Amino acid sequence: MTTAEAGRPLRIVIADDQASVREGLVLLLGGLPGIDVVGAAGDGQQALDLIAEHQPDAILLDLHMPVLDGLGVTRRLVAEHPGVAIVVLTTYADDGTVLEALRAGARSYLTKDADRADIAQALHAAASGLTVLDPRVHATLLQATAAPQPAPAGEAPGRAAPLPDGLTEREVEILALIVQGLTNPEIAARLFLSNHTVKTHINRIFAKTGSRDRAAAIGYAHRHQIG
């Protein structure tokens, strides 16, 4: 059940090391109906602490922060708080770390010139399991994800190719088990995860692969030789 369906506001944490940006976002988003800003962090570790304390629905996360950057925060959240939707907020549309964040498990990203309505929409969508990508760099990211990566100098060819469409290793593992016909409880037992965590991963798989259901996800897996 989404927060909207539950009739309660979306609870979010904002993380940005620039005080003026952070405070501006708190004012902009906190004044919107349906959003409750429960915390604001100036570095990655503070963000993790606030997440652990408040258990919000989503985080609006800057990638470039001290102590622990946004990529590190993303990896920790996926491992420790998979139910928190991650919306990356970046300064530049061509920020190369955005693709890394999506691969790590971020659900959506926007640039900092997005207006508050777009940010609010992205947060609500992400918390519902959907992906929202800045249209100016969507095509570039898809191309970068799909393009074969040359092996670095001195490295033998045949290195594993990047995972498609920002899927994480865990998501590919779960998708392969879906292909095998396992149910959510069976996947949870196989991987020693909770049913809730498995459901969250599957929602992210559906969002990243554009799949409406398990059958579509299986078709996607076959096209990408997963499972």
- 61 within domain boundaries: yes
Residue 160: phi and psi, rounded to 5, are -55, 135
User: What residues make up the domain containing 175?
Assistant: 165-223
- 57 within domain boundaries: yes
Q: What is the chain's Cα-based Rg?
A: 18
Average pLDDT, the chain: 83
In this prediction the pTM is 0.63
Which pLDDT belongs to residue 197? 83
For residue range 109-120, list pLDDT tens digits in order: 888 888 888 899
| Spacing of C-alpha 84 from chain mean position | 9
Ranges in the chain, pLDDT < 70: 1-6, 92-96, 134-161
Judgement on whether residues 96 and 17 belong to the same structural domain of the protein: yes
Which pLDDT belongs to residue 55? 96
CATH no. for residue 172? Answer: 1.10.10.10
- 155 within domain boundaries: no
Which pLDDT belongs to residue 19? 94
Which pLDDT belongs to residue 94? 61
Q: Enter the tokens of residue 159.
A: 């290195």
Judgement on whether residues 184 and 125 belong to the same structural domain of the protein: no
